[in-house]
Every structure is written in C-alpha cells, then in structure tokens.
Amino acid sequence: MEEGKVLSQSLQQSAAAYVIIHDKFGDALSAFDANETMPFFEVLDTAQWPEIALFMRDHPKLQFNYMACLSGVDYQAEEKVGIVCNIESLGQRNHKLAVKVKCARHGGSIPSVAEVWHTANWHEREAYDMFGMLFTDHPDMRRILCPDDWEGYPLLKDYKVQESYHGIKVPY
C-alpha cells in the first residue's frame, strides 16, 4: 500500500457501503479494513449480525443481494472460531464486502443469517461441521458432510482423529 492514499474504485465503493452500515450500527462494527484483496469489517456485537445482514440486503443504497461464500476460520491463539462472509451486490450496485463474525472456540454460537441469504443455510452447516460453532435460529442445524455421529470438528487446528468409527479403524 505504497500509494495507499488513492483507493481503487472498487475499494472506494466498499468503503462507501461500510460508511452507510456504520452510520446505522455504530459501535457494533469494527473499523473498516481497506485492503485490496478482501475489504472487510468485523461484527463486534454478534447479536446484531442478522439485523446488519438484513440491513445490508435491503437498504436501497447497499443491495447486497448475493452471498458468494461463507467460510469458517479457527483463531486458535485468540481461543475463538469465526466465519468470513463474502457478500456482493450482483447486478445492482456491483460492490462487495467481507464480514467477519467470531465466537468462543468451544460451545460458542453465532446468529444464523440463513433467512437473509439462503446460501448461508448449507454454508453455516458446513462451518458447524468443521469448526463446531452453533448457529442460533438456523432452520436445520445438523452436520452436512461428516456422519451425524462423528466425533470432533476436523478443521480445528488441534483436531485429533478418532480411533475407530462403527468398529472400523480410522487412522492409517
């Protein structure tokens, strides 16, 4: 970011969208991280996340109508797990933003946005399957890839695979 003073056009759009959200929700959001790869902000007050999501989708100047991805992340050093949502306004405003939401590493929960963007339904199930955070008010909070009776959450950094599954040895 040598010539950091001149933001690219897409970054300017993202920053403008952030300002609108920040005006409404204030301290519930972190500061805007204006990086070129994935401009993002974090939701500090996780309880407000569905409300923020709905605002982002329905505000006439935002129109974030498309959730491109929702990924889980393990922040082992912070004792937290979280999600990163890549949200775009497709065919409307053509801007994009990423939103990060974090919760406690064991037994934590994040409010679901599956009713805001239906894409989030399965993606949240996958994040739960791999990292173990629960999504409150999710319509169908089950594992999606691993078997229902699988032990542990495989993408946690300190994950140890179970010795056997239904009598079949798992490790090599």
In angstroms, what is the minimal distance from the CB of 60 to another protein? 45
In whole angstroms, the minimum distance from the beta carbon of 40 to another protein comes to: 29
Q: How far is the CB of 161 from another protein (least distance, A)?
A: 4
Cβ nearer to another protein, comparing 58 with 151: 151
Q: Exposed, middle or buried: residue 116 (CB in 10 Å: 0-12, 13-18, 19+)?
A: buried
What secondary structure letter does DSSP report for 103? E
What are the residues binding another protein (CB under 8 A)?
145-147, 150, 154, 159, 161, 165-166, 168-172
Task: Indicate the helix (H) or strand (E) that contains 80.
Answer: strand 80-88
DSSP 46: G
Q: Which residue number, 66 or 122, has a Cβ lying nearer to another protein?
A: 122
- Chain centroid offset of residue 162 CA: 28
Toward another protein, which CB reaches closer, 23 or 149? 149
